[in-house]
Amino acid sequence: MASIGEFERACENGASVQEELLAGILRKNASTDYLQKFGSPQTPAAYKSQVPIVSYEDVAGEIERIASGDESPVLCQDPIICFFASSGTSSGKHKIIPVTAENMSATTRAIELSSAYKARCFPELGSGRVLGLYYCIDQFHTKAGILVGAGTTYTIKNYRNFSSKFTTPYEMIVSGSNWRELTYCHLLCGLIQRDAVEHIESMFAYTICESLRILESDWEEICNDIRTGSLISGKVTHAKLQEAFARLILDYNELDRVRNAEAITKICSRKSWSGILSLLFPRAKLVSTVVTGGMAHFVPQLRDYAGVKLPISGKDYYSSEGVLGINTNPASPLEEVVFTILPHIMYHEFLPLGANNPAGEILAPHEVVVGQEYEIVITNFAGLYRYRVGDVVKVSSFFHGVPQLAFSHRKNAVLSVQNEMVDEQELQNVVMEVSKEAGIEVANFTAYGNSTAVPAHYVIFWELKRREGINRELLERCCSSIDRSFNPGYTGKRLDEVIDSLELVIVKEGTFERLMEEAVRNGTSPAQYKTPRCVTSPRMLEVLESGRVQSYKSGEMPRSVLESWEPSFPQGSASRDA
Ligand code: AMP
């Protein structure tokens, strides 16, 4: 269903489309071990009363059986064509999610539908080139020979069309090189073809900001490589990247290359990099990337790089489990990006959050309430039944009868050292607010709840974009402001001294790059990487600690903070469950 009209008609009948979809899934999979265990229900009511709501850990055993070669219908009737490795963020642990041909084709249809909305909204996007900041990581096979890899890697390798407009040759993207060399090549190839670039794209906003940080340090080498038509910078060592570059450069004559390198040098030598993207890519008409959730932090940087003339569009809401929603209004302001669920792709249920749900009820899409937050529970064709994705969303409105969701936060990404709770969105809001107030550009941040210290306390890590004009006093003030901005659940415990002063640690430039490299080493695709906002893995903590340059402790917590507290962030979740 790639037609907008057909999709919107399906949305109007969202409730019945969902019921039919569920009936189809239950019929097809009635004889699987999993559904049989729960009496193979055939109606939505029986399904909801007999089959439990589960998390990954509850079905990990079944997934392991399939991975080890059990060919009986363990979870679903259709064969598993591969597993997607999801980028387990805060704990650094991965999940492997079963994929069937049917849910792969559902994903493809969702991507086509999303492209149709984008084409309608930005008709000026034509046949130009795309600077696509994508990466492939190594795939491997389970004991039984089933392929395991990141969803982006699978899509790039199996749908050649996906990358046909990219400025970076396909051979480079699939070369298996390290992400930094490939980022250099993405920039190099994009800049060689800068006059043809129409669209700049990445999965997550972080990738564009990180690539521009690399451009800030490497642009002189890139210009030399363009000028000479060779990789004399020595920055690219991987043989497959070198070969693909040698082929690409044959299409560009020396005069044009020299002219291009001079123009890029002039642009990159500017003191301010505001609007740099439209200067470097003068025909670019759109930047598209995920700007919601953990990526909201990068929006100011991205806007600054894009400048006023180049629009940015918020990308869809995907996970390894499937397409959770698409942006049907790609021109909406970035702070207002919401996702329309696709009633014909997977079955959705919505679990009200703990405190609001004493009776443990769970709602169908048409029953949810605008303004309320819910945890997403899905059922798909690939053997996930009433499965908690781990995300919390807020219903923002209805679109032809189906809910539109604003991403709120990852359920498990919370700081909690004494039974209080600060979720990733509250943390992000506080960091953004405090740094903005102080006029400090925080390139990236994360946090750690140190519950082994006595008393326990929070540690916030900041990597600064620029150090000029930032002194100890200002950072000390930021540290105390962060400490005083969290919800009363936290502040009360600080006043009772069961939580100690907050520590703000400034890390050296490049520390967050190393954090990403650590995740990539553990199998996360750079394309899908999201900086964990709350770190729990000891190894990641080690990386952060190794970058420590200065640290500050918050001052005493005045009682007045508790009395005057109010949730200052309308989109935030600061008041919840405090
Ligand atoms: P992965 O399983 O590695 O593909 O990661 C999927 C997770 O990334 C989702 O469950 C969300 O937590 C996050 N995510 C994906 N798309 C978006 C989006 N548009 N906005 C916010 N978070 C997103």
Ligand 1, atom 2: closest residue by C-alpha: 86
379 phi, psi to nearest 5 deg: -130, 130
To test the pocket of ligand 1, the residue of 298, 317, 405, 414 to mutate (highest count of ligand atoms within 8 Å of its CB) is: 317
CB contact at 8 A, 474 and 435: no
Q: Is the shortest distance between the CB of 103 and ligand 1 below 6 Å?
A: no
Quick one: which of 18, 78, 10 has its CA closest to 48? Answer: 18
Question: DSSP letters of 476-500?
Answer: HHHHHHHHHHS-HHHHHHHHTTSB-
Quick one: which of 413, 575, 417, 412 has its CA closest to 501? Answer: 417
**Residue where the block lists tokens 């006023």:** 308
Left if phi > 0, otherwise alpha if psi is -120 to 50, otherwise beta: which for 223? Answer: alpha
Quick one: which of 533, 355, 390 has its CA closest to 449? Answer: 533
Q: Is the shortest distance between the CB of 318 and ligand 1 below 6 Å?
A: yes
Q: How far is the CA of 525 from the centre of ligand 1 (A)?
A: 13
Q: Is the shortest distance between the CB of 319 and ligand 1 below 6 Å?
A: yes
Ligand 1, atom 9: closest residue by C-alpha: 319
To test the pocket of ligand 1, the residue of 290, 405, 534 to mutate (highest count of ligand atoms within 8 Å of its CB) is: 290
Q: How far is the CA of 317 from the centre of ligand 1 (A)?
A: 6
Q: Which atom of ligand 1 is nearest to the CA of 95?
A: 2
Q: Is the shortest distance between the CB of 389 and ligand 1 below 6 Å?
A: yes
Q: Is the shortest distance between the CB of 320 and ligand 1 below 6 Å?
A: yes
Looking at the chain, how many residues does it have? 578
Q: Which atom of ligand 1 is nearest to the CA of 314?
A: 19
User: What is the DSSP-derived secondary structure letter of residue 2?
Assistant: -
Q: Provide the pLDDT for residue 570.
A: 40
Cα separation, 462 vs 440, whole angstroms: 11
CB contact at 8 A, 379 and 359: no
Cα separation, 97 vs 182, whole angstroms: 27
Q: How do residues 120-170 score in pLDDT, each as one tens digit?
A: 999 998 889 999 999 998 888 998 899 998 898 999 998 888 888 999 999
Ligand 1, atom 6: closest residue by C-alpha: 319
Ligand 1, atom 7: closest residue by C-alpha: 319
Q: Provide the pLDDT for residue 150.
A: 87
CB contact at 8 A, 383 and 98: yes
Cα separation, 323 vs 335, whole angstroms: 21
Per-residue pLDDT of the chain (578 residues; tens, 9 = 90+): 569 999 999 999 999 999 999 999 999 999 999 999 999 999 999 999 999 999 999 999 999 999 999 999 999 999 999 999 886 544 445 789 999 999 899 999 999 999 999 999 999 988 899 999 999 988 889 988 999 988 989 999 988 888 889 999 999 999 988 889 999 999 999 999 999 999 999 999 999 999 999 999 999 999 999 999 999 999 999 999 999 999 999 999 999 999 999 999 999 999 999 999 999 999 999 999 999 988 888 999 999 999 999 999 999 999 999 999 999 999 999 999 999 999 999 999 999 987 667 777 899 999 999 999 999 999 999 999 999 999 999 999 999 999 999 998 888 777 888 778 888 888 999 999 999 999 999 999 999 999 888 888 999 999 999 888 899 999 999 999 999 999 888 988 898 888 999 999 999 999 999 999 998 888 888 888 889 888 888 899 999 999 999 999 999 888 888 776 665 444 333 333 32
Q: Is the shortest distance between the CB of 87 and ligand 1 below 6 Å?
A: yes
Q: Is the shortest distance between the CB of 378 and ligand 1 below 6 Å?
A: no
Q: Which atom of ligand 1 is nearest to the CA of 410?
A: 12
